[in-house]
Each structure stands twice: as C-alpha cells, then as structure tokens.
Structure 1
Amino acid sequence: MSAKATRIAALTRLAIGLAQGIALFLLQKADESKAWPATAPMLYAPLLVCALTVPLIPLSALSAMRRTALLGWSAVAAALVAILAIHAAWVGATPDRLGAGPLSPPLFIAVAALLFIAHHLIQPAEAAGKPVAPYADYFDLVGTNAVRLFLSLAFTGAFWLLLFLAGALFKLIGVEAIQKLIGETAFAFPATGLMFAAAVHMAVQLTEARAGLVRGVRTVGLVLLAWLLPLMVTIAGGFLATLPFTGLAPLWSTKAAASLLLSAAAALIVLINAAYQDGLEPPNAILRWAARAASLLLIPIVILTAYALWLRIHQYGLTPDRVMATTYLIVATGFTVGYTLAALRSATWMKPLERTNLVMAAVSVLLLIALFTPIADPARLSVASQVKRLESGKVSAEKFDFQFLRFDSGRYGRLALERLRVSRDPEIARLAAKADAANEKAATPANTGPDFAHMAVYPAGKTLPASFRQQDWSLHGADSTCTYTRMRCSALVIDIDGDGTDEVLLASGATFDVFKLSADGWRRVAQASGVCPGADIDAALEAGQVTMSEPTARRDILVGGQRLSVVPAGEGCRAPPPPLRDGLVKLP
C-alpha cells in the first residue's frame, strides 16, 4: 500500500471511530434524559446496536475489500442488525420500559458473533473473486483479525489506564481538571472511539508488515493447544468406557448432563481444529490419530446429549435454556457428521473438515438470525410449549409457572397470559389474572426439598419411603436446613418413639431433623442434637453404630460415642439429661 493510501485509510478509520463515539454519546444522553429517540424503543434499539457493532466492519476491512463491496456488506449488516434489535425491543418493550431497557446482553453477544462469523465468510470470498475462497484464506484471516482485535483492545485499555494515572497524579497537587474531564461522557465516548480506531489502524499496519511473525506466534499457540487433544481424547474415552458400569443414573442426577456433554463436544471440536489448522501441513502422527479418534468420540457424546435433552423437554417442555441447548446440539451434530466422514472416508489428512467448518459457520449465522427473530425466538417457543402443556393437562394450574409468562418471556408471555385470563378452566383463569396483576416477581420458595440424588441412607438395607421423597417440600420442609439449601445430607431411617413405624431423620452435621408421617404428609416434629464437639457422626452412621436408649421417660439416640437428645419441635433447647442405662441392640 502506498503512503498516500495509508494516510487516507488512517484518516478514514479515525473519522469512523470519532463518529461512532459521538453517536454512542448522543444515544447515551438521550437514554439518560429520557428524550427522543430513547422514548421510541423501536428506533432507539437499532440505532444503539448498529452504532456499537457495525462500524467494526469498515474499521477492519477498509484496506482489504473493494469500496463498493465493503459499503454493500456494511449496509446489509446494518439492516440485519437493525431487524434483530427491533425484534428485541418489540419483545421486551412495556409502557414503563423505554430506551435501552428491553435490550439484553445476549443480543449484543449474538450480534457480535453473527457479524464476526459472517464477515470472515464474506471478506475472503470477495478477495478471491468467487463464492468460496481457499480454506487457508479463511483460517489466516480469522487468526489475523483475532490478533488485531486483542491488540486494539489492549491499546485502548492502556490509554485509559494512563488517563486514570494522570488524573490521580495531578490530584496529588490539587489539580482535579483531568479527573473531571475523563469522568465526562462527552469526552469518554468520542475519545474511546477515536483511540480504538487508531489502535485498529496501527494493528493492521503491524500485522501486514510482520505477517510472518504473526503467523509464527499463532502457529506456536495452536500447536501447544493441539497437544491437549490426546489428553481430551483420553478423558472422553475413559468417561464413555465407564458409563456401562455406572449406568446413566449418576449422569442424569446432575441435572446438567446436556450442558456438560455439549462442553465436552465443544472442547473436542476446538482441539481438532487446533491440530488441523489450515490443513496445508499434516501434524505429528499422534495428533493425526488423536484427531480421528476425537471425531469418532463425538458420536456417542452427541447422542447422549440429544437423549438427555429429549428427556428434559419430554418431561418438562421447552424453556429458553433448552431452546438454546437444542441450537448448540444442532451445531454439534453438524460438526460431528462432517468430522466423522472426514475421519473415516478421507485418504488425506481429514480434508473434508474444511467444507464442514464453512458449512457450519453459515449454519451458525442462520441459527443466530432465527434465535433473535420470531422464527425461533426462545421465549416464543417456550411460551407455546408451556401453555400447550397446561391446556392439555400435562401440568396442573397449581403447579404451572404463571410468573414465567408475566416476567420472564417478554411480550410473548404477556400475550399468552391475556389469553389464559379468559380460559374456560376457572382455576387457570384465576391464576392467570392473579399473575397478570402482579407488579413484581414473587420470591421462589427457598425450601425446594432434600438432595435425594446424593443422599446416603442408614442403616444399611433401609430405604427412604416413597411418600417422603414425593411430597411437596415447599409446604412441609420448613425449618430444616437440608430442605432449604439442598445441601448433601445423610438420612437415618429408625423408629425413635417405639410405635412400630420408622421416622426419617435428616442429618446436617451433628444435628438431625426428625420427620414423622402424619395425615397431611411428613412433618418435622423434633430435633436430635448432641453436645460433644468434633464427633464424627457420618463415620458412625456408615459403620452402623446406631442404637436407641432404653424406653424410659425419653429415648435418646446413640450414634457411635455420641448421645443425641431428642427435643420436640417448638420446645427449644434444654440441658442434656443424665446418661441413661444402655441395654440396646445395634441396628443392622
């Protein structure tokens, strides 16, 4: 690039950065003062999101794309971003929420990801003059722009650190003008935009002049990352090999199986690409075989993820989190199919992986557009699923989460709530009207029930009664630590009052909450606690060292060397009684 072209590029980037900073300042002041255009969410939202994200396209590609192509792509990107922002504002807007309120962080993250992926599909193709450029061009541009972005953010951060240091130094001698200046948004926004644009220009010049150095550093980093692939293959392989012996129950009991499995799949995909890089030179034989093995391990992991997700959706319907997880699963499935074919059918070093990466990049862009438009909005799909479950009788009106419709699903939920208010079912109509009239979300009951999945039951051979597990703990779990915090507690099933029916004791440390079956469920009727500090209650329970004192005026529980006094609920603390004579039989 000639010196003149370089100066023009520099001035253009600085002008874009300054204009972006001024635009963001004006939008921020409008939102702060509740003035136009902040009073019109459908206008404010696209202006804000476009001003924040779209200028990054000409900043990065100013010297790399033809002017007409760059202007056309920037216009398309602005239109696309505006559509997503308008939809977000429409879904979240309420009469008392104006300005940036309806816009959530996921929208900005999604827009940034969408533009990043789409830009790196478009720029290499435009430079090559054909729809699909050589794969090495895509790989090189992504790595180079990642370095440029890091350098630009670091430079901008260093700029602000120096300003804060200058303000603190001058304040020491009584000059506060600098601190006041950097605290003004009229300075902060334009200065940040200008310095970031300057940093981008310098990063572009540096990476073009030292392209070989940048590629070398990138290659070293990826090679080091790639050598984690054999370890990840060992971990994933060991996990899958252990499942037949442990069964799926421990995995399902985590209630996070799908997210953990998707994380494992993502790690394998990233490490496979770290080993493959641009595909021009095959890596070490160990990495080649590890990449092929990792591609095959993706199959059972994705199948397990799909099964786990299907179970949750079948049992409880869609939620926004499950819609997002389904989207990730679609992407993971696409990579799995492509990588498996590359591992099994390719005579060369997994060459079909390149086509898979490009296709899934385009699919990811389409999925992001769908998720943040009415096509597949997680709130819309979740509301439709949950309301269908309610109206079909799969979930009763008493157990249905009307608060989700009122507060957590935007306009879609509020529209559904309005329809449910005139339901033919009087209970649904009553609860819908009650939720619709609420001004704030009610607190979720704290006592959500014991953690049965990880609960050890003593003595050996005893099991918890089914009625104890299945009762409504939001009604009958009051005053028990185990039911409020879902901490891991032990359970002791034993008859402590001599009536021939076992009670259930939940142990939290050296204290037991005693539950007894009554006409209205299992109720906490007493507490058993000891006075000896440092007693290892869990070890004594595991060893079966549990007995009852002789039936006298009161029976105490003997656990190991510890005597636990049983105090009826509401009686309060009292001094432990004199030791009673132990003529006892140890429980099996």
Structure 2
Amino acid sequence: MDNQLPKSLMILLAVLQGIALTLLYRSLEAATWPAADPIWFTSLATFVISFPLLTLLAVEQGNIKKLLIYLLPFCLLLSLLGAYIGSEHYPLAFIDNDWLTATFVMTSLVASFKALMYIQQFIDKEAIHYAQLFKLSWRNFLLFIECWLFVLIFWGILNLGAALFDALDIEFFTTLLRKEWFWIPTITLAFAFASIVFRSLLNAEQSIATLLQVLIKFLLPVLTIVSFGFLATLPFAGLEKLWQTGRGTSLVLWLQLLTLFFINTVYQQASLQRPYNVVLHRLIIIGVGLLPIYSLIAAYGLWLRVDQYGLSVARCWAILMCFLLACFSFGYLVGIIKKRDAWLEVQNKVNIGMGLIVLVSMLLVNSPLLNFQRIASDSQIARLNDGKVTLEEFDYNYFASNLGRQGYLAMQDLKAQIKNSHPEQVTIIERMYVNTDFKTAEKSTTLSEFIAHSVFWPEQEVFSDELIEAVFNSMHFSNWAPLHSYSFYFVAIDLNNDEQLDYVFIDETNDFTNAKLWSHNGSKWQQYYMTTDNPDQIKWLKSLINANDISVEQPQYNHLRVGDAVFKVTNEIEN
C-alpha cells in the first residue's frame, strides 16, 4: 500500500490547500472579497476543503485519473450547492443564517462519505456489493477520524512547546502559531502526512472496525430486547404518554436508527451468515420484521404535530428521516417474508439502493428543490391565511431566528399586507429585522434620533432636556441592539398623589418590557427599577398611550417596613 500512494501529489495537494485556505481566511478577517460575498466564499471554501480531503482519503498511484473523473464533478456540485447556501444569507444586514451553514457542513460530510465509497467501487470495477461498501465506509470514516486525531495531538504539542518557551520569555513561537500563514498550512500538511501514514498501515482501520463490530454484536440483542419491551408495553400505556414527553417521535426514530445501524454492522457478510445461535438469531430477525411498526408510530406522531402546528424545519427533517428509515425497514421486512433466513440477499439490494437515495437526499436538502426553511415558511403562512392561527398568536420570532432569508422574505410580504390594519404586528416585524452589519449599521445613535424615536405622554414639553439626556445616556445601543429594535415611551403622571408629576421611562422590545422611575435628587437624575406585570404580552404600547389609556392603580397591599428593610407584595405566585 505504501508504494501505491502518490506521496508527492498528496503533499503538493496539501500545500495548495493550505495556501488557498490561508487566502480565504485573510479575506474573512479583512471582510474583503470573497468573504464579503457569501455566495463566492461558501462555494470556494466548500471546494477547497472537500476536494483535497476526499482525494487524500482515496487516491492511489494507479487510480489518479479515474478518481478525478468521478470526484471532481462531485466536489463541483458540492461547491454549487455551497453557492446556493451562501445566497440564503442575503440580505446580510438583516439575516443570521449560521444554522443553515452548519447543516450544510454536516450533510455535505454525510454525502461525501457516501459518494466516496461508491466512487471507490466504480474505480475498482467490481460488482457493487454491500459488504464491500460497508468495509469502505468504515475505512474512510476511521481514517478521517485518525487523521484529525493526529492533527489535534500535533497541534497540542506545538502549543505546549510554545507555552514552555513563553515561560522563558521567548514569545517567538507563540506569535508564530497565531499567524494564519503558518498554522493553516501546518494543519493541512499534518493531515496529509497522517493520511499517508495511516493508509500505509494495511490492517489498522480493519482492526478497529472489527473491534467495534464485536462490541455492537453484543449490544444488538440488548437493543432488540429493549425494543420488544417497548412494543409490549405500548398497547397498555398508550401513545398519549409517549406524545406527552414532547420528544416521543424523536425517541422512536432514534431507536429505529440504532437498530438498523447495529443490524447492518453485524449482518453484512455472506447471505447465510449466522453470528448468533438459533434463538438469538430468530429473536433479532423478529425484531427486524417489527421495525416498520416504529415507522408507523413516528409517521402518526409527525402527522399529529404537523396537523396541529404546521411544518417547521425540525419537522421537515423528522419527516425525511422517517421516510428513509421506513424504506429500510419495509425493504427488510419484504426480504424476510420472501427469503426468510436468506433475507440478506434482499438486504444487500436495499442497502445499495438506499445508500444512493440517502446521498441524493443529503444533496437535495441544500438545494432549492428541498429547502426546509422555505417549506416551513410556506406552511406557517398558509396556516395564517387559512385562519388556523391569528395575527396575534402568530410566532413571528420563529421566522427571524430559524428561517433565514425565506423567513425574512415572508415577513416583508406579510408586513406589506397588514401595514394599515395591524400596526402592532408591523412593529414586531420591524423590530426583528434590524441592521446588524458592522459596516452599514448605525455606529452611534444621536440624542435627536432617540427623541424622534420616542413617544411622549402627555407631551414632550413636560420632560426637561436634562431628563431626556440622562435617560439617553443610560441606554447602551450597539450593532446587536440598535435603536430600531426598541420602542421608547416617556410617561409623566402623578403616582403617589403628591400633586407632583412622576416620570416613567418604558423601553419595549419583542422579548421584554422594562420600566424605570426617574426622579431628581437635588443634584442629578436618578432611576429606580419598576416591576412589570404584562399578562397579555402586549408588545406595542403606543396605540394604548395614543388613546390615553393610562391610569394610576393603587396597590392591593401596602409595603411592610421592618427597620430599614422594606417588603413588597407582588402578583407572582410561588409554586
């Protein structure tokens, strides 16, 4: 194997990757192109990471050309999908869609490992068989983990050495480790070196895989017994208790996923393989035959949730997982019914076909064809249009925090529709999307902007300039909490029946409503915290203030004073 590895090519590829990643990192730090354009940056970063990494895991002296024929188009496709994911970050000033990027990374890893094992089979020109695909998948995965483990240990040793030299007041090595032109190429070269070393060890990955398979072989009967116990008690306990946990569907899917994984780890050699005695073998076969029941339970639970609350990104993922696991489970059941003990012949065909379906699914979820954020947005808006939820009950925050660009576009359309009829909801939407871009966002809010953004009751002239300025100075605006994410109210009213006006300042956001009492102590304005009781979750006091719906309410209980300690009764109930 050592002589079959094109070491020079692998090292050269690592050097080029290190240079490219260094340039991308510098553009990210300087906020210049391509980092300033998420479409180009995500696309380029995807290709620069995926192509060298997959090549290092699979390249051999005799397959370079064949590998490139298959691998290059796949990595270009990943890069194209990365460009689409980057487009889902626009407009940059209003959207934080990092969760979508994280999802893209995870699904791309799954798709890459799936694609790589099929590509390796095509290159070898062997008949595609699940046992070989299984062997390749374990080999590639373990090799990937071993290489990164080596990189982490190597980097840890470098930092340990730098710390030791720091103790001697020699800071050269610490400074060097902070330079991107040093640490990025160092990591890529370390990964390439590790891949050469571990791929030269013929039986390293196979030995680890065998050890894990032995452990899973002992765990599979335990998992099967747990599955039987769950199904046996379910008719008596009922599905309602399962749904009351709030994660019943996910638990069922996890049990099904683990069972399928363990089954495919143990049963993946010859069609007549018997890794257990007859009793355990029959027990496990029965467990496999019952797996479709979990698909039906999960599908029913998802149907209930979607019917009640509509689609969300999490439910879209759950539906996809339920579908994929159901295909495996029903495929195995058909094999058991037709072939009985020879059902592994059907398992082989099911796994090969489903592997391709999983690969395609992981690619489609990063494309416009299966954009879960768009699907969830359309579903929630449809529920609103159908009257299943009112504008007051609608979860606006979900669109801003979970649906990225698709949520932003949907909220802009909704805002235009209700602009004249529901000003409170319009304000809620406007507060959600504030300019958080460090280049274009307001660097500092001026006093005049603060006054123009505030509501004064009964009128602004009642409040002194010194008080308004003191309140303004107490606020802390930033790019993450800009002026337009708040609503401000100045209220002048006699709260203690002393025939003198008291001044209350209220700041309101979509998440909270705070109030402070301001009074002059003879030398300066002082603020005092006021508790807020807002049972109806009012998020737009402006309409009530403009309607003069303001009054003073006497407390039900006076305060209790013991010496200088004061005790106040609130409306909160202690459980």
* Category of TM-score, reference length = shorter chain: 0.7 to 0.9
Which residue matches 1:151? Answer: 146
Measure the CA separation in 1 of the matches of 2:430 and 2:568: 42
Measure the CA separation in 2 of the matches of 1:143 and 1:572: 57
Q: Spell out, residue by residue over 1:76-125, the C-alpha distance to the aligned partner (whole angstroms, 9 max, x if none).
A: 12221122211111112224379996862111111111111111122113
Measure the CA separation in 1 of the matches of 2:379 and 2:337: 39
Q: What is the CA distance between 1:305 and its match in structure 2?
A: 0.4
* 1:64 and 1:127 in contact (8 A); partners too: no
* 2:97 and 2:404 in contact (8 A); partners too: no
Aligned AA for 2:321? Y
**Identical-residue share of aligned pairs (%):** 25
Measure the CA separation in 2 of the matches of 1:140 and 1:175: 49
Instruction: Indicate how the Cα distance of structure 1 residues 246 and 134 shifts in structure 2: closer, same or farther if over 3 A, else same.
Output: closer
Which residue matches 2:188? Answer: 193
Q: What is the CA distance between 1:570 and its match in structure 2?
A: 3.9
Which residue matches 1:550? Answer: none
SS across alignment from 1:92: coil
After alignment, is 213-222 or 357-366 more displaced?
Answer: 213-222
Instruction: Indicate how the Cα distance of structure 1 residues 98 and 71 shifts in structure 2: closer, same or farther if over 3 A, else same.
Output: farther
Q: Spell out, residue by residue over 1:28-75, the C-alpha distance to the aligned partner (whole angstroms, 9 max, x if none).
A: 110110111112222111011221222112111111773332112222
- Counterparts of 1:334-413 in structure 2, within 5 Å, are 334-346=327-339, 347-348=341-342, 350-413=344-407
With normalisation by structure 1, the TM-score equals: 0.71
Which residue matches 2:466? Answer: none
Instruction: Indicate how the Cα distance of structure 1 residues 572 and 257 shifts in structure 2: closer, same or farther if over 3 A, else same.
Output: closer
The one of the two structures with greater contact order (alpha-carbon pairs below 8 A, sep at least 6) is 2
Which residue matches 1:14? Answer: 11
* 1:318 and 1:385 in contact (8 A); partners too: yes
Which residue matches 1:315? Answer: 308
* 1:20 and 1:52 in contact (8 A); partners too: yes
Instruction: Indicate how the Cα distance of structure 1 residues 425 and 195 shifts in structure 2: closer, same or farther if over 3 A, else same.
Output: closer
Q: What is the CA distance between 1:358 and its match in structure 2?
A: 1.3
* 1:445 and 1:474 in contact (8 A); partners too: no
- Counterparts of 1:126-141 in structure 2, within 5 Å, are 126-128=123-125, 132-141=127-136
SS across alignment from 2:281: helix
Q: Spell out, residue by residue over 1:373-409, the C-alpha distance to the aligned partner (whole angstroms, 9 max, x if none).
A: 1111110000000000001111101001123334431
Measure the CA separation in 2 of the matches of 1:38 and 1:568: 55
* 1:421 and 1:429 in contact (8 A); partners too: no
Q: Give the unaligned 5+ runs of structure 2.
A: 435-480, 486-508, 514-532, 539-555, 558-566
Instruction: Indicate how the Cα distance of structure 1 residues 474 and 326 shifts in structure 2: closer, same or farther if over 3 A, else same.
Output: farther
Q: What is the CA distance between 1:136 and its match in structure 2?
A: 2.5
After alignment, is 55-64 or 18-27 more displaced?
Answer: 55-64
Measure the CA separation in 2 of the matches of 1:224 and 1:572: 54
Q: Quick one: which of 107, 117, 121 aligns to 1:120?
A: 117
Which residue matches 2:164? Answer: 169
Aligned AA for 2:304? L
- Counterparts of 1:418-497 in structure 2, within 5 Å, are 418-423=412-417, 427=421, 431-432=425-426, 434-438=428-432, 439=434, 475=535
Aligned AA for 2:114? I
Measure the CA separation in 2 of the matches of 1:184 and 1:572: 55
Q: What is the CA distance between 1:277 and its match in structure 2?
A: 3.1
* 2:17 and 2:52 in contact (8 A); partners too: yes
Measure the CA separation in 1 of the matches of 2:280 and 2:261: 13
Aligned AA for 2:201? L
Q: Spell out, residue by residue over 1:117-168, the C-alpha distance to the aligned partner (whole angstroms, 9 max, x if none).
A: 1111221132125xx5233321221222223222212211221121112112
Aligned AA for 1:223? V
Instruction: Indicate how the Cα distance of structure 1 residues 403 and 476 shifts in structure 2: closer, same or farther if over 3 A, else same.
Output: closer
* 1:225 and 1:274 in contact (8 A); partners too: yes
- Counterparts of 1:470-549 in structure 2, within 5 Å, are 475=535
With normalisation by structure 2, the TM-score equals: 0.73
Instruction: Indicate how the Cα distance of structure 1 residues 572 and 362 shifts in structure 2: closer, same or farther if over 3 A, else same.
Output: closer
Q: Spell out, residue by residue over 1:388-439, the C-alpha distance to the aligned partner (whole angstroms, 9 max, x if none).
A: 0001111101001123334431221222222222327954676246403542
SS across alignment from 1:351: helix
Aligned AA for 1:180? T
RMSD of the alignment, in Å?
3.0
SS across alignment from 2:270: coil
After alignment, is 316-325 or 238-247 more displaced?
Answer: 238-247
The answer on 1:108 being equivalent to 2:76 is no
Instruction: Indicate how the Cα distance of structure 1 residues 571 and 182 shifts in structure 2: closer, same or farther if over 3 A, else same.
Output: closer
Measure the CA separation in 2 of the matches of 1:424 and 1:445: 23
Q: What is the CA distance between 1:2 and its match in structure 2?
A: 8.1
* 1:318 and 1:386 in contact (8 A); partners too: yes
Instruction: Indicate how the Cα distance of structure 1 residues 254 and 293 shifts in structure 2: closer, same or farther if over 3 A, else same.
Output: same
Which residue matches 1:297? Answer: 290
The answer on 1:219 being equivalent to 2:214 is no
Instruction: Indicate how the Cα distance of structure 1 residues 198 and 307 shifts in structure 2: closer, same or farther if over 3 A, else same.
Output: same
Which residue matches 1:545? Answer: none
* Pairs aligned (count): 452
